[in-house]
Amino acid sequence: MKLLVTGGLGFIGSNFINLLQEENEYSIVNIDKMTYAAKFENVSITKPENYEFVKADINDESTLEKYSDIDWVINFAAESHVDNSIKSSTEFVQSNVQGVRSLLDFCRKHDKMILQISTDEVYGSIEKGSFTEESPLNPRNPYSATKASAELLVKAYHETYGIPYLITRGANNYGPNQHPEKLIPKTISNILSNKKTPVYGRGLQIRNWVYVKDHCNAIKLVLERGIKNQDYNIPGPEETSNISLVKLILKTFNKPESLIDFVPDRLGHDFRYSMGDSKIRKLGFSYSMTLEKYLHSLV
């Protein structure tokens, strides 16, 4: 099977490519425009005969046209820093909405299928219980609004043109290749240098957390066994508040809680994300990692 993987030098995309290279059945074309979060070293090229890298923007339709022999588009390409989207949403609309439109037009022209990688943030916040795949989308910041828009475009192209699709919605990821701007690597980097580490508000926001390799295994499972034209939540096995997570990191690395620096909360900061995972478990999926186990592996 030949895959066009977009954003494959980023955090989740590179882990997905590394996973697929453990098998011989996949040939991969990796298109990445090399933004600040992309790194060549994120990808371990173990089978160069089954891998090709192309530096390009997914809005570059002439580049996409060169790869009309692929079977699936797997779209990881996205601007994902919520704080940056609040400052300016221009690049987020260009990548996360216009870019998906470009990929969909390519799929329409060449009768291809698309797997859109999305996020739990499209659901918005929930006080109790967990969202299911049937829950309505209610994005509350510019980033999540662009990801929700991308999902709606995918479904609209299916309804209008018959393009087969799959959508996965992941929770907060952690693990190898993560950009240092994110909460876990940023906190670890700060405290190892005995620097104060910032926590928004009082750190009471609650999130699902999923190990990136578990997330990628789930995406692969959806690709191979998922029901076409369906959505799949991939929330992770645990839910915790930001302050509890930061305290766990401090405890693991034997650092004092005095290193916590509470800073003003950001605009549009959702209180709690939570998704159910019964649908992905029905495909035979299970988790291999917890936050505590991962953090202890770093000490």
Confidence of residue 24 (pLDDT cuts 50, 70, 90): confident
* pLDDT (average), residues 142-161: 98
Q: What is the pLDDT of residues 185-237, one digit of tens each?
A: 999 999 999 999 999 999 999 999 999 999 999 999 999 999 999 999 999 99
Which pLDDT belongs to residue 73?
Answer: 99
pLDDT at 83: 87
Contact 27, 1 (CB under 8 A): yes
Query: The pTM is what?
Result: 0.96
Mean pLDDT value of segment 54-70:
98
Is residue 200 exposed (0-12), middle (13-18) or buried (19+ Cβ within 10 Å)? middle
Query: What percent of the chain stands above pLDDT 90?
Result: 94
The pLDDT, as a whole number, for residue 267 is: 82
Mean pLDDT confidence for 36-62: 95
- Give residue 214's domain range: 2-173+210-234
The confidence score (pLDDT) of residue 266 equals 84
Q: What is the pLDDT of residue 47?
A: 87
Please indicate, yes or no, whether residues 86 and 180 belong to a single structural domain of this protein: no
Say if residue 19 is in the same domain as residue 163.
yes
Pairwise CA distance, residues 143 & 219, whole Å:
21
Residues 192 and 55 in one domain: no
Mean pLDDT within 12-37: 95
pLDDT reported for residue 42 = 96
Are residues 11 and 147 part of one domain? Answer: yes
- CATH number for the domain including 190? 3.90.25.10
Would residue 224 show up in a list of annotated catalytic residues for this protein? no
Predicted local distance difference test score (pLDDT) of residue 222? 99
Distance CA(126)–CA(137), nearest Å, equals: 12
Q: Residue 23: its pLDDT value, please?
A: 84
* Confidence check: pLDDT of 167 > 80: yes
Of the residues 32, 57, 79, 121, only one is catalytic, namely 121
Specify burial of residue 3 (Cβ count, 10 A radius: 0-12, 13-18, 19+). buried
Residues 120, 169, single domain; the answer is yes
Q: Are 141 and 119 in contact (CB under 8 A)?
A: no
Instruction: Tell me which of 219, 234, 249 is where a domain ends.
Output: 234
Catalytic residue status for 41:
no
Mean pLDDT over 10-28 rounds to 95
Question: Can you give the pLDDT at residue 137?
Answer: 98
Judgement on whether residues 107 and 229 belong to the same structural domain of the protein: yes
The reply to whether 143 belongs to the active site is: yes
Give the residue-averaged pLDDT of 165-184: 96
Q: Cα–Cα distance between 97 and 31 in angstroms, integer?
A: 17
Q: For the CA atoms of the chain, what is the radius of gyration?
A: 19
Residue 147 and residue 8 share a domain: yes
Give me the number of domains the chain comprises.
2
Of the chain, the percentage scoring pLDDT greater than 70 comes to 100
Q: Buried b vs exposed e over 108-145: b needs ≥16 C-beta within 10 Å?
A: eeeebbbbbbbbbbbbbbbeeebbebebebbbbbbbbb
Catalytic residue among 26, 51, 143, 232: 143
The separation between CA 282 and the C-alpha centre of its own chain, rounded to angstroms, equals 21
pLDDT score at 269: 83
Of 32, 120, 214, 277, which one is the catalytic site residue? Answer: 120
Q: What digits encode the pLDDT tens for the residues 253-299?
A: 999 999 999 999 988 789 999 999 999 999 999 999 999 999 999 99
